[in-house]
Structure 1
Amino acid sequence: MILIFGASAFVSWRLRSKFNEYSQIGLSNGLSGAEVAQKMLNENGIYDVRVVSVEGMLTDHYNPEEKTVNLSADVYYGRSVAAAAVASHECGHAVQHKLAYAPLKFRSAMVPVLTVSSQYMQWILLAGVLLLRTTPIPLAIGVALFALTTLFSFVTLPVEFDASRRALAWIQTRGIVNQREYGFAKDALWWAAMTYVVAALGSLATLLYYASLLLGGRRSD
């Protein structure tokens, strides 16, 4: 667990470092992140998705329910390699939505269940650990709920990697970036993807920990 925590901290630091670095490199064509996003949406025949600015740093995301590409101010207004990379990545999710990309559909279907379960999961796990010598049922329920969270983390991986693949292919073929800028954009999106990989591994490690408590408690009965 300590190793996972350390890896997570390192990857998060590295992502912010890369984003800051590539935010200082101007995009040769002068487009802003918002303009890149709108162009990618239009060229993929997507006209019912709005590109909006949201507060925070690295808070960029695509909302399939509201059909919005939400870009942080640095990305929305920025005219840098980082802005182009992030904006096109989020639009990659909009393209997935339009094409009914299976992993995205599956992940979206899990959201309502996880939203409800996450409100109670930690309390159930705590109760399960405290009551383990009396009954394994609460911890078993907690482990089952946490397994859903872990599954969600791993389903997220192909969604994120595919969105980056679509983004990189589009910015390259449409001349949004030159060869040098393409390398920077690819590097930035790779580090962004690593945050999801570390999160998934961290979730798996935590799940295995609680599962080992459950199995250990049952053997001692």
Structure 2
Amino acid sequence: MFFFLILLMLVSLGIQQRLRSKFKKYAQVGLQSGLTGAQIAGRMLADHGITDVRVESTTGSLTDHYNPATKTVNLSEGVYAERSAAAAAVAAHECGHAVQHATAYSMLAFRSAMVPALSAVSRFMPMLLLAGVLMLRFSIIPLGLGIVLFALTTLFSFVTLPVEFDASRRALAWMDQRGVVTVQEHAMAKDALWWAAMTYVVAAISSLATLLYYATIFMRRR
């Protein structure tokens, strides 16, 4: 199991590098429509009748996200003002989350409901797991509690998958319907979003593998 975790870590690093390479490549492909990421986001929101969500610029690279609490589509500087296939893909994807929120998409609501609990758990879960392993000779309770808390993070990772895939599906369908990208640009956007989705897939599998690793240690001690 330990070597499998190492393999997953290497695969994750490879996918992340591939993702950066794809976005760098597609960021150099200018859109024939001449629309910026912010303009594409604005159009997609308007087309879905969403008027209470703001499109804002945020610092960093690949820091794009939708915040349901503040109802803001936050686009990184490389997406907000850029006119590229990569910017179109990211902007539309994040707006896909806004559409999910507006239409009460159940998996997004479930994931959002988990966030407060996970924020609290993440503060002390690593220490609890470490302490559980170190104290295993004396008591299995700390490790058992750590495993239960880690299971919540694993569940969150898997709940995230349909949310991300659905947002990409909505983004690609809208771009195809509205014609904001050419056929070639659409293919690039789809490819970029696919690699982005793979990072979530590997993260979920890695989380499950780690959970099973700790569970194996726990069961052997019992």
Specify the TM-score bucket, using the shorter chain as the normaliser: over 0.9
Count of residue pairs brought into register by the alignment? 218
**Could you give the per-residue CA deviations for residues 92-118 of structure 1, whole angstroms, max 9, x where no partner exists?**
000000011011000000000000010
- Cα deviation for residue 46 of structure 1 reads 0.5
Partners in 2 of 1:163 and 1:134 — Cα distance? 47
2:203 corresponds to which of 199, 204, 212: 199
Which residue is equivalent to 2:151?
147
1:99 and 2:97 aligned: no
Runs of 5+ in structure 1 lacking a partner?
none
Which residue is equivalent to 1:69?
73
Amino acid at match of 1:168: L
Runs of 5+ in structure 2 lacking a partner?
none
1:17 and 2:7 aligned: no
2:11 corresponds to which of 3, 7, 14: 7
Which residue is equivalent to 1:170?
174
Which residue is equivalent to 1:59?
63
Query: Identity across aligned pairs (percent)?
Result: 65
1:112 corresponds to which of 109, 116, 123: 116
Partners in 1 of 2:14 and 2:134 — Cα distance? 33
Which residue is equivalent to 1:45?
49
**Could you give the per-residue CA deviations for residues 29-72 of structure 1, whole angstroms, max 9, x where no partner exists?**
00000000000001101010000000000000000001000000
Partners in 1 of 2:32 and 2:189 — Cα distance? 13
Amino acid at match of 1:77: A
Partners in 2 of 1:5 and 1:198 — Cα distance? 9
Which residue is equivalent to 1:36?
40
- Cα deviation for residue 178 of structure 1 reads 1.0
The Cα RMSD (Å) is 0.5
- Cα deviation for residue 2 of structure 1 reads 1.3
Partners in 2 of 1:172 and 1:3 — Cα distance? 37
Partners in 2 of 1:193 and 1:183 — Cα distance? 15
Partners in 2 of 1:169 and 1:7 — Cα distance? 29
TM-score (norm 1): 0.98
TM-score (norm 2): 0.98
Partners in 2 of 1:6 and 1:27 — Cα distance? 34
Which residue is equivalent to 1:136?
140
Amino acid at match of 1:144: V
1:188 and 2:187 aligned: no
